[in-house]
Structure 1
C-alpha cells in the first residue's frame, strides 16, 4: 500500500503545514458509513478534493462541500447534519475551562426532544471510543427483573424517528415477523363447494351431459371470498419521511405475501411505486422508490394529490371492497375546501378508509389544524403509526374489522 493510503484509497497530499484535515475527513467518512450512509472510498477522496478546492473558509461552506459529496439520499440529510455537528464542533479549551470553574445555576429549561438521526450519529462517532476503553471486570450483581421490561418490549414502544442504526435494523427484522392480516370479503362470484350449501345448476348439467343424462348428481357452490385490495397513500414530505421509510419496509413484506397491494407516494405530486415494491430485496425496492420520487422530503399538497389519485387511479385499484391506508400528518398548506371534497370522494370509493397519523403519539393531541379538521369527518379510523406496537395493532385491525377505540369522532369535541 502506498504511503498515505487509507481504506483502499490514496489520500491527496495535504497542504503545507502540520494539519491533519485529510485524516479527519477520512475518519468522518468512516463514522458516516457506520451510521448507515452509503459511502465508499471514492466519495472520501472526492470530499478531500472538494475541501481543497474551496479552501478553509466558513463553516457553512465546509458543511455544504461535504454534504454535496456524502449525502446521496434525502433521508440521510438529518443523520449527516447531526454527525457533522458532533464531529466538527470547536474545541475551545479556554472557554471550557472557564465554564468548568464558574458556578453553575440550576437549569430549569425544558429538555429538547432528541433530533431525528441523533442516535445513529452519536452511536457511529462514539463506538470506537468505547472499544478502545480498557475492559474492567464487573462484579457479579443479581438483579430482580420481575417488574422490568425486556429489550424487545422497549423497542416496540420506541419512536421510529429516535431509533439508532442498530435499532432500525432490528425493527426491520421484527416487521418481517408480523402476523399478516387474514381479512376476506365476499364477492358476487361463486366457487365450487363440497358442502350442500347452494345448488350450482350449470355445473350439475355439465356433469350430467358426460353420462348422457342417465345420472344427475347435484353440484354445489358458495360465494367466493378473496382478500380485498390494499391501497396505500403515503406522505413523503419533510415531516413524514422518517416514518414513511420504515412503513415502506412493512409494505414490502405485505407486497411479498399478499396480492393486489398498491403503493402511492405523494408530496407535491403523486407517484405510483407499486412495481418498485415488488422486488425481492427490500433495500433495492426502497432505492427504486427513492429514485422514482422527485419530491422526497419536500413540501406537501394533499388536496391536489388526492384529486389526481381519484381522477386517474381510483377506478383501477379501488374495486372489490378495497381498503385505503392514508399516511400523513394532515398539515395541508393550501386551501382545505378541495381537500375536504377529495377526501369525501375517496371515502365513498372504498370500503374502509384508515388514516395513520404519527402526531397521535403525543398525549393530548387535538385536531386544531385546518387540514386535520377537513379530513377527520371522512375517515373510518384514526390511528397512530410511530412504532412497532402501532403497526402490530394495525395488522390486528385489518383482520378483526373496524374498532370503536380509534373512532375519529372522539376528536370532534376537542376542536
Structure 2
C-alpha cells in the first residue's frame, strides 16, 4: 500500500455505504491505532478496524463482509505506516544552536487536519478548502429517533392479537402471548442553504454538508436553496459523488450569489410543503432585503410546526458576534438553537446536535 491513510479512508467510506457508523472521528482513531501496529499483519489491521470503526453489535457482520471484500488480494508492503505526530523543541527568543541554560520545552506539532477543523473556511486556500471538503464527505449525519406509528415484534409491550391468534390457529392452542411495541425511525430534517451574495464564501461548503446529510439519511432529509427563490435540491444531492452532486445542484439554482428574501421563501415553503415533527435547519447570515416583519411571521409558523428550529450562522463562530441584522432580530425569538457554521468543527457539532435533538 503506497498510501495507508488513503486506503483506510476508502475502507471507512465503504463501511458507511454498508450502514456502519465509521465517521471521521472513528477513522482518525483507526489511523492512530495503526501507528503502533504491524500493518503487514492482516489480523492486527482487522482487529484495529473492528475496535475503532464498529459502534454496535449489528455492525460486526457488515464489517466482516466489507473487510473481506475490500482487502481481498491486497498485500501491505513492510515498513509503511502512518507518519506519527512529530515533536520538536521550542527555543526561546535569542537562543542559538549552542543554547543557553534555559529549559527546553517540547511542543507537539498539531496535525494539519486538526488545524483545518477549526479554521474559517472563508479564509482557506483552494487546496485547504478541498481538503476540508474531503473530510466533510466523511461525516455521518446520524439522526435523533422518534416513535413511529408502525409496530414491531417485542418481548415487552402491548398484546399483539393478530400474531397470537394466527399462531394459535396454526398450533391448535395458545402457546404464547405475542407482544408488539412502537418502532422508531429517524426524525426528518429540512435544511435551507442560503446561496446569496453575502453567503458566497460559505455556500459551497454548506452544500457539501447538505450532501453528507442527504446521503446519510436519503428518506429523512429534504434540502432547499434560498436566496431570491426557494429551490428544492434534494434529488440533485442524492448523487453518490459530492462533486457531481454539487454540479447538478448548481444547474438548478437560478439565484446563485443574488439577494436574500427569506420571508417570502419561508412563506412559499409553508404554502407548498410542511415541517411537521421535523428539525428545521436554516443556514444563513440573516441579511434580509425584504420585510423583516414577514420573516418573523413565517418563522413563528415554522416554529409551531417543527420539532426544533436551528439557525446556522457562519458569523456566530466569532466571540464578538451579535445578531443585529434585521433578519436575525426578526427570527431570533422563534429559534431554539443559534449555532456557528464557519468551520469543519462547527459542522461536526451540528451533526451531533441533530443526533441528540
- Residue 355 of structure 2 corresponds to 399
- Residue 21 of structure 1 corresponds to none
Change (3 A) 1:142 1:266: closer
- 2: CA distance, partners of 1:209 / 1:241: 66
Report the 3-state secondary structure (helix = DSSP H, G, I; strand = E; otherwise coil) of the residue aligned with 1:342: helix
- Residue 346 of structure 2 corresponds to 390
- 2: CA distance, partners of 1:313 / 1:224: 25
Segment of structure 1 superposing worse, 287-296 or 243-252: 243-252
1:12-411 aligned at under 5 Å gives the runs: 142-143=88-89, 146=107, 148-193=109-154, 195-212=155-172, 214-258=173-217, 259-314=219-274, 318-319=275-276, 321-401=277-357
Change (3 A) 1:142 1:203: closer
After superposition, the C-alpha distances for 1:291-316 in whole angstroms (9 at most, x for unaligned) are: 101110000100000000000011xx
After superposition, the C-alpha distances for 1:158-196 in whole angstroms (9 at most, x for unaligned) are: 111111121112111211233432421112332111x23
1:361 CA drift (Å): 2.3
Question: With CA pairs under 8 Å and 6+ residues apart, which has the higher RCO, 1 or 2?
Answer: 2
1:151 CA drift (Å): 1.7
Larger of the two Rg values belongs to structure: 1
Contact 2:198 2:257 survives alignment (8 Å): yes
1:335 CA drift (Å): 1.5
1:148 CA drift (Å): 4.5
TM value normalised by structure 2? 0.68
After superposition, the C-alpha distances for 1:337-376 in whole angstroms (9 at most, x for unaligned) are: 1111100001111101100001212322122222211100
Report the 3-state secondary structure (helix = DSSP H, G, I; strand = E; otherwise coil) of the residue aligned with 1:146: strand
- 2: CA distance, partners of 1:283 / 1:165: 15
- Listed as ranges, the gaps of 5+ residues in structure 1 are 1-140, 402-415
Contact 2:260 2:288 survives alignment (8 Å): yes
Report the 3-state secondary structure (helix = DSSP H, G, I; strand = E; otherwise coil) of the residue aligned with 1:275: helix
Report the 3-state secondary structure (helix = DSSP H, G, I; strand = E; otherwise coil) of the residue aligned with 1:234: strand
- 2: CA distance, partners of 1:400 / 1:288: 31
Aligned residues: 255
- 1: CA distance, partners of 2:171 / 2:321: 71
- 2: CA distance, partners of 1:277 / 1:356: 20
- Listed as ranges, the gaps of 5+ residues in structure 2 are 1-86, 91-105
After superposition, the C-alpha distances for 1:94-124 in whole angstroms (9 at most, x for unaligned) are: xxxxxxxxxxxxxxxxxxxxxxxxxxxxxxx
- Residue 110 of structure 1 corresponds to none
Report the 3-state secondary structure (helix = DSSP H, G, I; strand = E; otherwise coil) of the residue aligned with 1:158: coil
